Structure 1
Amino acid sequence: MFEINHQTVLVTGATSGIGQQVAQDYAKKGWNVVACGRNQAKLAELALKFPNIATLAFDITDAKACREALSGLEPCPTLWVLNAGDCEYIDDGVMDAALFRRVITVNVIGLSNCIEAIQDQFTAGHRLAIVGSISSELALPRAEAYGASKAAVKYLAHTLRMDLAAKQVHVSAIFPGFVETPLTDKNNFAMPMIISVEQASKSLIDGLSKGKSNLYFPRRFTSIIRLLGTLPYSWQHALIGRLLKQP
């Protein structure tokens, strides 16, 4: 049962990785949590573990399902953490349009579906947190689809920040580096300075509690990537291969 006087946070992508940990950590802090995802079994596990977690099962790529699941929430969240996303890589520089479409559909169209479904509930003082990736700062090998999608997410977050300012709705853009999740478990390359999902969740929650507009973690790795992103493209390409130890 939700506590009437407690704050409410909605988290998408709450059935694994960062989203799952964030949902659990907010619940431990006493927040009411609306955990969203496609895996009904994992959502049920969350609800059994935490009485202050309610769940919504839907596919963010289905605009109608988003509207039906996310409209008219009671109690209305004051914090919206849009975290759901996916990653697939393009190998050997050979474009795979179907793969590209899948990634863009989840990471960009799915995000816009969620925003459209919840925007009528925004009121002054709400915070919209959009989880992107540090890959949006720098071109990385095999990341034609994933990096392009996260670059779009970054642009979307920054433009929303300007447009929602008039409504006093605050937008935070979140740029994780490598985090130990089921998605990164599939990676077969070096992941410098990778952090645990617990560390990522703590950084995210602490940053949002401080009202930060842009969150980068882990700090050292994301600072290096951001610095490389300011260099000439020829330098970037040479240095990123060394950093990621690409053959």
Structure 2
Amino acid sequence: MTNDNTSVDNETTAPSRVAWVTGASSGIGRALALRLARDGWNVAASARSTVELNRLCAEAPDRIVSFPLDVTDRTAVHETVNEITTRLGPVALAVFAAGTYARDYASDFDAARLKTMVDLNLIGTAYCLEAVMPAMIARRTGQIAVVASVSGYVGLPGAASYGATKAALNVMCEALHPELAEKSVCLSIVNPGFVDTPLTRKNDFPMPFLISSEAAADAIAKGLATNRYEIVFPRRMAVAMKILHALPARLRFKLTRRMLRSPD
């Protein structure tokens, strides 16, 4: 006899439809949480701002549940994953979009600013990976997406610290991917170009091929549906950055020097 009210955590009869999204209070994370909710996922939304998470949940109260979290707190990350599993079921999809961004140049380089970005963008993501990978490997199922940036392809003036964290995420995911694939866990790296978010709105320079957070969320959702390793958008920005990376250093620096800010 078939029981139509099977619990979400009964994996033998009903695969989990629980998605965990960090950085869900704004920008790409927020837009993706809403997109996943529309697609039928039960979304565990995490960010530091409880107020913004509550606003997000109000837009899809039947699908999105707030789990406030500072991803730089390793203990809290593990406790949050345990709480999500207990309340909603095992995490089938994890999207790590929490991050921060600030411009920096040689003239104002600050190691403390670099540490802030490393702690959130890189170490915080590592804590999240550490918390979800063992259970997915044990179940031999699951999907993870790490949001990096095309800034990780090549060093650009003004993005020394930010680009370094995104390059590290790309290398880390590339190293983890083969082993996870052997365990039937799908890992994707997401490399957006310029996306209209509260962080990029602080920029005081032209942002080519700028797209909305909603367009970014759509691109990520489509990429995840095909289990693609690298999800990169918009395509023209990605092509330009990859060509720049492939150029000889002398020619590459000739082009990147044109990106230097004007003297004050």
Deviation at 1:166, TM superposition (A): 2.4
Aligned to 2:31: 21
Tell me how far apart the structure 2 counterparts of residues 32 and 167 of structure 1 sit (CA, whole Å).
24
**1:84 counterpart = 2:98:** yes
Tell me how far apart the structure 1 counterparts of residues 76 and 184 of structure 2 sit (CA, whole Å).
28
Tell me how far apart the structure 2 counterparts of residues 206 and 114 of structure 1 sit (CA, whole Å).
23
* Code of the aligned partner of 2:33: A
Contact 1:93–1:142 at 8 Å: present in 2 too? Answer: no
Contact 2:91–2:132 at 8 Å: present in 1 too? Answer: no
- Aligned partner (choices 234, 240, 244) of residue 256 of structure 2: 240
Contact 2:99–2:120 at 8 Å: present in 1 too? Answer: yes
**1:168 counterpart = 2:174:** no
Tell me how far apart the structure 2 counterparts of residues 240 and 9 of structure 1 sit (CA, whole Å).
39
More moved, 59-68 vs 84-93: 84-93
**1:48 counterpart = 2:58:** yes
The equivalences for 1:62-211 within 5 A come to 62-71=73-82, 73=85, 74-122=88-136, 123-211=139-227
More moved, 123-132 vs 87-96: 87-96
Give SS of 1:229's match. Answer: helix
Tell me how far apart the structure 2 counterparts of residues 176 and 231 of structure 1 sit (CA, whole Å).
21
Tell me the alpha carbon deviations over residues 110-146 of structure 1, each in whole angstroms, 9 at most, x when there is no partner.
0111111222321323111111000011111111110
Structure 1, unmatched stretches of 5+, are: none
Contact 1:71–1:118 at 8 Å: present in 2 too? Answer: no
Deviation at 1:79, TM superposition (A): 1.0
Tell me how far apart the structure 2 counterparts of residues 124 and 64 of structure 1 sit (CA, whole Å).
25
Deviation at 1:156, TM superposition (A): 0.9
Deviation at 1:18, TM superposition (A): 0.2
**In 2 relative to 1, CA 206–43 (structure 1 residues): closer, same or farther, beyond 3 Å?**
same
Tell me how far apart the structure 2 counterparts of residues 166 and 228 of structure 1 sit (CA, whole Å).
33
Q: How many residues align?
A: 244
Tell me how far apart the structure 2 counterparts of residues 101 and 95 of structure 1 sit (CA, whole Å).
12
Tell me how far apart the structure 1 counterparts of residues 28 and 253 of structure 2 sit (CA, whole Å).
29
**1:60 counterpart = 2:61:** no
**In 2 relative to 1, CA 134–24 (structure 1 residues): closer, same or farther, beyond 3 Å?**
same
Deviation at 1:173, TM superposition (A): 0.7
RMSD of aligned Cα (Å): 1.7
Percent of residue pairs identical: 34
Deviation at 1:246, TM superposition (A): 4.8
Tell me how far apart the structure 1 counterparts of residues 97 and 179 of structure 2 sit (CA, whole Å).
21
Aligned to 1:30: 40
Aligned to 2:11: none
Contact 2:92–2:143 at 8 Å: present in 1 too? Answer: yes
Contact 1:90–1:145 at 8 Å: present in 2 too? Answer: yes
Tell me how far apart the structure 1 counterparts of residues 260 and 159 of structure 2 sit (CA, whole Å).
15
Contact 1:21–1:197 at 8 Å: present in 2 too? Answer: yes
TM-score by length of 2: 0.88
Tell me the alpha carbon deviations over residues 67-126 of structure 1, each in whole angstroms, 9 at most, x when there is no partner.
111126131121111111111121344320110110111011101111112223213231
Tell me how far apart the structure 2 counterparts of residues 182 and 192 of structure 1 sit (CA, whole Å).
17
Deviation at 1:164, TM superposition (A): 1.5
Structure 2, unmatched stretches of 5+, are: 1-6, 9-13
Give SS of 1:101's match. Answer: helix
Q: Which structure's CA Rg is the greater one?
A: 2
